[in-house]
Structure 1
Amino acid sequence: MHKINLAEKLSQFSSHWDPHVIANYNGNDVMVVKFQGAFLFHKHDDTDDFFLVLDGAVTMDYDNAPSVTFGPGELLIVPQGQIHRPRADQEARVLLIEPKGEANTGDSGLAPAPKPHI
């Protein structure tokens, strides 16, 4: 039962596309991550994806729908099974929530990030 300072947690790493767990919530990992450039297209068959932009701007590309750009204080939930790709032209700082153990790379075949706790 303690507060978590998101800026302090984000200052602990500089890598991109490398989520760091800052808390656990009802079987979910609450994570902070930095985006820059484009991730790869992927989907999660069994879970939705939760993205809340803290700083910067993120564009979510879809395989079958128009892209959506969202910024600080805005969130986007990608429904399970939806093929998507997050990207950020400049560094963006994002809060993610997903079930503990869910691979951030979905079905892409790319090895998932290790998701260390900080």
Structure 2
Amino acid sequence: MTRDVRNVHDALAAFSEPWQPHRLTSVNDYDVKVVKLLGEFVWHSHPETDELFLVVSGQLTIQLRGRDVVLNSNDVFVVPRGVEHCPRAESEVQAILIEPRGTMNTGDAGGERTAEVQELG
């Protein structure tokens, strides 16, 4: 956790790979992560927690069983705990995620796209 001022745009400029969350800071037991998204992720859920998406730039579609939620820059959406979802970005999206420390990006699905949260330099 950092106690210094962090700039979201500088943090997002520090890496290029999609689907690799980076911890910007922490608040109590929650991580505030920056991430770049491109293409389609995996269908998964987080049985124990909600997941907040805040789009910084681009357009993100969060596919839910039965409907799609489209987020544009500055939009926020919370995927409720246990709800299966699959984020999709036709072009690069920059986003902030807020979720409890230790939450895996692939939730209950696991697999090769599971990524440890990386610390920003």
Counterparts of 1:1-118 in structure 2, within 5 Å, are 1-63=3-65, 65-111=66-112, 112-118=114-120
Deviation of the 1:4 alpha carbon:
1.1
Q: Deviations over 1:62-116 (max 9, x none)?
A: 12x2101111110010000100000100000000011111111011121521111
> How many residues were matched structurally?
117
Whole-Å separation in 2 of the counterparts to 1:47 and 1:57: 24
CA RMSD in angstroms comes to: 1.0
Whole-Å separation in 2 of the counterparts to 1:3 and 1:40: 33
Whole-Å separation in 2 of the counterparts to 1:23 and 1:54: 16
Structure 2, unaligned runs of 5 or more: none
Deviation of the 1:57 alpha carbon:
0.5
Structure 1, unaligned runs of 5 or more: none
Whole-Å separation in 1 of the counterparts to 2:96 and 2:10: 13
Query: How many percent identity over aligned positions?
Result: 38
Whole-Å separation in 2 of the counterparts to 1:84 and 1:18: 18
Whole-Å separation in 2 of the counterparts to 1:55 and 1:6: 11
Give the TM-score normalised by structure 2: 0.93
Deviation of the 1:14 alpha carbon:
0.4
Whole-Å separation in 2 of the counterparts to 1:28 and 1:58: 22
